[in-house]
């Protein structure tokens, strides 16, 4: 049988030529075997086609066994091409490409070669190639590949048998590193011969790709069919997501060739935080199909190293990553900008200006998010495994808590800072919704502690409420309980009086003074059925307690009204509200205009009640001056002291004063004039005319 079809490299280190004497010896042995075989052969006229086939296969295998008898596994310096086919009995066999040889049955003779390329034909369609693979049998090449390519998606180079499906794009991605392995090898060495066979194979496989890339890359161009050459798994890629710079570590890529989803896709990972631990999330990026060649700078994403401003981008992303790391846990701040509300089918964009609470843990509780992938810490997992067997239950609990605390406090690496997301998960107190927020739009709160001093209340009332709130906050571990554990540990304050006299403002000022979040809800937020009320109020009380927030239930009349014998639905609302109120441990303000309608059961649950009267002239003057002084960046208006005296005579409440100023400011702006007393009087006249339409209302 002729030599196996082999591709030998035309580089340094070609193998030595075969020994002629050895060839003659092998030839003689084969001739002897043929003679012996012929003695037992039936006459050809009596031999069936099947017998002929069996005899031909046996002869071919015997020939190969002699030829490869003393050749070590994976050492023959050739690249062999084989076809794997199926006979009519369902048995597989191999035949060498470009050779008119008999069919070769299963065996291991080809494993003596350095590399073998196999075309696998379909069993049911002998003309259809199912796949093509390259089998690596050289021990040196297996070791080199494992060193140069430690990890690659869906491929392992750590196994004893390496079989790679063509096209083997990982070999292209690591071609430079593999070529660098030539340098330390001695000329003529077996290792150099094997490596050159692999390098020649790669160059042959990707000849067209290499030519295209070498032609386009110097001009920073790329074609669609060579996009994959840019994206070696593990590469840091850069993209703009919702207008913000982002970095991802490429995990894998794939191509959808046709249909509406056609395109080049990649999966990148980025660092995120779930409220307790840092970990990775996946992000899928897409490049739509295009024709011809385009500039790499116009691609939706590309390796960071290819960006002209790569260092500037890198430094900005790492700085943002440091800020992201510093915001672990809960953060209360200001937010101005776009916010994203996640939906089942699509996300919604909102433009908000609100105080927010960043809280990934609560976000995950109330907004199911299943894309989170916390990274596995094998070292920690092993430590816990052994500790569970060797420690007592109490010691193991302590050890586990220490491990969790250590994990939660860990610092991100430089690469993880670079990959950190710019998305925060938080709650908007003005919209009362959970959003995905962008860290660039988040800022620290500038607290207005002086607001409490400007509150229009008697000093005795202000001191009283301030003392109660401060005392409650100071004694966090309050040991004073009701007979039933957990009852009666909150601070419930009722603020009652006519509209617009400062009830809501009081709660706002307390929140500013104590630097706490203010969570405001109304009857509309809580619902009007007992079941909805219980679910919503339980959730709200839970969050308010978690965030140490000041909770304000505005216009709570419907939940406080006296129960009757006939209105079952209202009775259910009041009962639910009473029960949940008893077990709340935080600070709660209730505002109402109708304290005389309260259910008697509430009286024993209220720690403090403040009554607000209609504003007197002096109080109204103070409010006019306070509100107007904040206009024009604090520059105020053209209203004189005498003008404030005039404004104070209008018998209106604080909310009406604020609305009048806002309307007058709009009018003055339209007229391109500064805001003055005349514009304010014009608006007040309009309000008075409107008020007169309501019988029984005084203005």
Phi, psi of 163, rounded to the nearest 5 degrees: -125, 120
Distance between CA atoms of residues 205 and 175, nearest Å: 12
**What are the sequence ranges of the domains in the chain?**
20-205, 217-311, 330-443, 449-611, 617-691
- What span, in angstroms and rounded, lies between the C-alpha atoms of 699 and 561? 29
The pLDDT of residue 60 is 59
pLDDT reported for residue 25: 44
Q: What is the DSSP string of 514-565?
A: HT--EEEEEHHHH-SSHHHHHHHHHHHHHHHHHTTPEEEEETTHHHHBPP-S
pLDDT recorded at residue 159: 87
Please enumerate in sequence order all residues whose Cβ is within 8 A of that of 656, keeping only pairs 6 or more positions apart, or say none.
500, 687
What is the residue-wise DSSP string for 586-607? SEEEEEES-GGGB-GGGGGG-S
| pLDDT interval class at 4 (50, 70, 90) | very low
> What residues does 491 pair with on adjacent strands?
587
Q: Average pLDDT over the chain, rounded to whole?
A: 83
- For residue 493, give Cα distances in angstroms to 361, 429, 602: 30, 21, 11
* Band of residue 62 on the pLDDT scale cut at 50, 70, 90: low
pLDDT greater than 60 at residue 313: yes
Of 309 and 105, more confident: 309
Whole-angstrom CA distances from 687 to 502, 645, 667, 696 are: 20, 19, 14, 15
Calculate mean pLDDT across residues 597-609: 82
Largest separation between any pair of C-alpha atoms in the chain = 136
Residue 303 phi, psi (nearest 5) = -55, 135
SS3 content of the chain, % helix, strand, coil (to 5): 45, 25, 35
pLDDT digits (tens, 9 = 90+) for 432-443: 999 999 999 999
Unique residue bearing structure tokens 């050749």 = 71
Burial level of 602, CB count in 10 A (0-12/13-18/19+)? buried
SS (H, E, C) 618-659: HHHHHHHHHHHHCCHHHCCCCCCHHHHHHHHCCCCCHHHHHH
Please check the confidence at residue 458 and state whether its pLDDT lies above 70: yes
pLDDT in tens, 251-306: 999 999 988 899 999 999 999 998 888 889 999 999 999 999 999 999 999 999 99
HEC string for 22-89? HHHHHHHHHHHHHHHHHHCCCCHHHCCHHHHHHHHHHHHHHHHHHHCCCCCCCCEEEEEEEEEEECCC
Residue 597: what pLDDT? Answer: 77
User: Considering only CA atoms, which of 370, 356, 498, 501 is closest in space to residue 434?
Assistant: 356
Summarize pLDDT for 371-398 with one digit per residue, the tens.
555 555 556 666 776 777 777 787 778 8
Instruction: Give per-residue pLDDT as tens, 208-257.
Output: 999 999 999 999 999 999 999 999 999 999 999 999 999 999 999 999 99
- Same fold for the domain at 449-611 and the one at 617-691? no
Q: Does domain 617-691 sit in CATH 1.10.8? A: yes
Phi and psi (nearest 5°) for 559? -95, -10
Q: Which has more confidence, 58 or 21?
A: 58
d(CA 271, CA 321): 9
**What integer is the mean pLDDT of 177-203?**
94
Name which residue leads in pLDDT, 50 or 537. Answer: 537
Q: Which residues contact 40 (CB under 8 A, 6 or more apart)?
A: none
List Cβ neighbours of 671 (8 Å cut-off, separation of 6 or more): 679
With a pLDDT cut of 70, the percent of the chain lying above it is 80
Residue 145 has pLDDT above 90, yes or no: yes
For 121, phi then psi, to 5°, come to: -90, 150
If pLDDT is split at 50, 70 and 90, which confidence band does 7 have?
very low
Give me the residues paired with residue 266 across strands.
253, 285
Residues contacting residue 103 through CB under 8 Å, at least 6 positions apart: 53, 56, 57, 60, 85, 87, 93, 94, 95
How big is the CA angle at 435 (ends 434 and 438), to the nearest 5 degrees? 150
At the fourth CATH level, which superfamily is domain 449-611?
P-loop containing nucleotide triphosphate hydrolases (3.40.50.300)
């Amino acid at each position: 049988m002729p030599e196996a079809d082999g591709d030998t490299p035309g580089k340094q280190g070609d193998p030595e030529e075969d020994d002629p004497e050895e060839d003659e010896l092998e030839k003689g042995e084969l001739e002897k075997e043929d003679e012996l075989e012929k003695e037992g052969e039936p006459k050809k006229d009596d031999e069936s086609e099947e017998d002929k086939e069996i005899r031909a296969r046996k002869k071919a295998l015997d020939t190969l066994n002699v030829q490869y008898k003393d050749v070590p596994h994976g050492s023959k310096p050739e690249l062999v091409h084989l076809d794997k086919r199926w006979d009519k009995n369902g048995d597989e066999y191999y035949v060498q490409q470009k050779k008119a040889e008999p069919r070769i049955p299963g065996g291991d003779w080809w494993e003596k070669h350095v590399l073998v390329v196999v075309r696998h034909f379909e069993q049911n369609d002998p003309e259809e190639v199912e796949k093509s693979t390259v089998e690596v049998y050289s021990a040196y090449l297996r070791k080199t590949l494992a060193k140069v390519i430690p990890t690659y998606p869906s491929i392992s180079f750590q196994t004893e048998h390496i079989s790679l499906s063509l096209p083997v794009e990982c070999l292209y991605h690591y071609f430079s590193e593999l070529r660098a392995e030539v340098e330390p090898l001695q000329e003529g060495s077996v290792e150099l011969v094997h490596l050159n066979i692999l390098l020649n194979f790669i160059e042959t496989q990707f000849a067209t790709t290499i030519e295209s890339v070498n032609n386009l890359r110097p001009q920073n161009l790329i074609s669609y069919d060579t996009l994959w050459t840019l994206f070696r798994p593990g590469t840091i890629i850069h993209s703009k997501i919702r207008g913000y710079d982002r970095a991802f570590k490429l995990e894998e890529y794939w191509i959808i060739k046709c249909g509406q989803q056609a395109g080049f896709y990649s999966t990148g990972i980025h660092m995120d935080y779930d409220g307790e631990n840092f970990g990775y999330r996946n992000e899928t990026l897409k490049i739509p199909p295009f024709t011809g060649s385009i500039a790499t700078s116009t691609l939706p994403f590309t390796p960071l190293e290819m960006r002209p401003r790569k260092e500037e981008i890198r430094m900005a992303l790492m700085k943002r990553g440091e800020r992201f790391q510093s915001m672990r846990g809960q953060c209360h701040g200001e937010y101005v900008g776009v916010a994203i509300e996640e939906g089942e089918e699509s996300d919604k964009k909102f433009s908000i200006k609100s105080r927010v609470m960043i809280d990934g843990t609560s976000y995950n509780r109330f907004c199911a998010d299943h894309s989170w992938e916390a990274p596995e810490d094998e070292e920690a997992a092993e430590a816990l495994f052994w500790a569970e067997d060797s420690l007592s239950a109490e010691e193991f609990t302590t050890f586990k808590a220490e491990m969790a605390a250590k994990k939660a406090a860990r610092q991100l690496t430089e690469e993880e800072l670079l990959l950190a997301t710019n998305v925060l998960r938080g709650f908007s107190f003005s919209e009362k919704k959970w959003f995905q927020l962008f860290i660039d739009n988040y800022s620290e709160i500038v607290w207005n502690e002086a607001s409490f001093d400007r509150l229009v209340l008697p000093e005795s009332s202000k001191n009283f409420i301030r003392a109660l709130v401060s005392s409650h906050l100071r004694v966090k571990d309050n040991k004073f309980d009701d007979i039933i554990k957990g009852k009666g540990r909150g601070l419930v304050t009722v603020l009652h009086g006519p509209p617009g006299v400062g009830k809501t403002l009081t709660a706002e000022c307390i929140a500013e003074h104590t630097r706490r979040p203010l969570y405001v809800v109304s009857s509309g937020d809580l619902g009007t059925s007992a079941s909805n009320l219980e679910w919503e109020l339980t959730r709200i009380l839970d969050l308010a307690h978690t965030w140490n927030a000041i909770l304000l239930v505005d216009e709570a009349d419907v939940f406080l009204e006296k129960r009757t014998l006939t209105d079952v639905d209202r009775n259910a609302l009041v009962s639910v509200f009473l029960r949940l109120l008893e077990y709340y441990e935080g600070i709660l303000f209730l505002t109402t205009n109708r304290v005389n309608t309260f259910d008697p059961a509430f009286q024993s649950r209220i720690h403090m009640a403040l009554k607000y009267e209609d504003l007197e002239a002096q109080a109204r003057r103070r409010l006019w001056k306070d509100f107007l002084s904040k206009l024009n960046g604090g520059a105020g208006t053209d209203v004189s002291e005498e003008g404030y005296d005039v404004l104070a005579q209008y018998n209106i409440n604080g909310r009406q004063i604020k609305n009048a100023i806002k309307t007058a400011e709009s009018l003055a702006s339209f007229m391109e004039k500064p805001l003055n007393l005349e514009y304010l009087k014009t608006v007040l006249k309009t309000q008075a005319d409107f008020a007169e339409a309501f019988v029984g209302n005084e203005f």
